Structure 1
């Protein structure tokens, strides 16, 4: 295959689209990236403000389990490009990575911009062209990899306009929903004024039969943070009850024994702080929730704060509409990658890992199809 003979379009200049272009151009294809924004990877750069969590170093089977119901569909792509391969890829671009104390993987500089600059430079050197402020016009005969994202942060990434095009084409798309975002709670004025922005550390949260350890943060209109995000699938329905264990490292019996001690002249708040070493926030949260037991605090949630400000979205193109290599069955010259696919994952590196891996998987199959025959896929 020669670059002059094979042309591929990539739609979307986020991490999945750029990764697809990287693989395609390395394989000799002539690649054009189009994106409806003026600048590439703007949401990727936003993620980099928090350190750019690229992937996770945990055992591959545990990592795969984080994708829940989508594990089977995503597993071939992630096993083909696991976290260690992603780290090597970064090294090839001149970006060293390290494993943090939590097992998460970051670039040494904790920024997205150096990685993006090196990446775009390599694509330019390979002759990849980019057309900014250009809308996808729908399915045609040009070999295309679609990596247009979900629906979060639309001013930086995808506005999900592609969903209607898929619907008209008769391609099933699971409705997009907010994931890894704030859950709405109605707090009292006093609680909000004192504790907005305060972290609640070393707690256990549970919902829908799933329990996670971690920390979260009080927001003006709800609760957010890693432990909350990990329960996104369970918390998606409005009115879900969130169970909070403020003392996950001690037993119910220990708590009961401590609470049975005489209070003396101490106020309830002072007694709780002294007896169980609870923070002022923990004590205030118990009061908000009407709980007398730090291991049994429950909040009734009013649902996610909204898809526009969620970190990611669940839902997307159904895997039933795709071959095992992420090619659309009804549009065999088109592949789908990244957050457009119907999967969900918590934060912790799992989001970017799956975006990178599915993009590579789709691009590699595209190259195979282009090499195999010119009749199956349109070329220009």
Structure 2
């Protein structure tokens, strides 16, 4: 078996599972309680904030807001500034593009054929007045293409120094270095990095950030940004996942890149005319989106499932319906090419032997379907 769908979700690491069990077995855990159990819950929560900051350079523990995941965090930002114009790329995850479109004042900036944001178009499309929120992904979930985020921020700040800049880092966290410089809000999920499902963070550049109206009202937890009793066990697990990756960051990046490159090279050698989308652009080290001419991607994924190789045709949050990838269309692919493409994404729990065996199976099954 080879699970090659880490961009959809990952398995909790043993350390993460142990951290979650430890909190659940420790007794009542409500950080708002004033007795000893509450104090221990608060201590666990604050330790988790510290652990998160080990992986995000320039982040303050008091600026880390725990939530249920990237979708909630993205909505909290994009629905938090009423009457604002929202500017995004045209390859954002649905949890960004949907609330941005629902806002009514939504500007989209195109990417080029390499999947990189067209910065000349960005300069021309930036509105010169009014409230402005920009939301650009750090890495694409389907192709792995990495945007030059800090260059983009400089471009935005030169024209609109007052813009509220949000970055969706769900696919970047733990795969490339993350630095908060110039970012007003950063969001990501725990389950992309061997953390617990249903966990995530919203990290503000300024711990005293007060421009966003909260998405959830109630008791004022999480510095009044996200009311509701905190998921201490989930936060502890997420913090552990971040700490583990921070401690072994360089090794993890190297291992994932070796597996991805070995797999991608082998598949493209064994299947004539196969090619990887975005291969000429900077990419996160674990992701390969391969075009198989003459092969229906959905059929290939189905056959590979039977062979014990698990992959996908796009973002898991939207791949349940048979539509061509909007990301690949934005990069200039035809509908046919988009339908003939499959995403493979590795984690540190894969091995090089798995990558080689999977490449053999993928190429063989693709040839059978061609």
With the shorter chain as reference, the TM-score category is under 0.3
Larger radius of gyration: 1
TM-score, scaled relative to structure 2: 0.24
Question: TM-score of the superposition, structure 1-length normalised?
Answer: 0.23
* Structure with a larger share of its residues in strand: 1
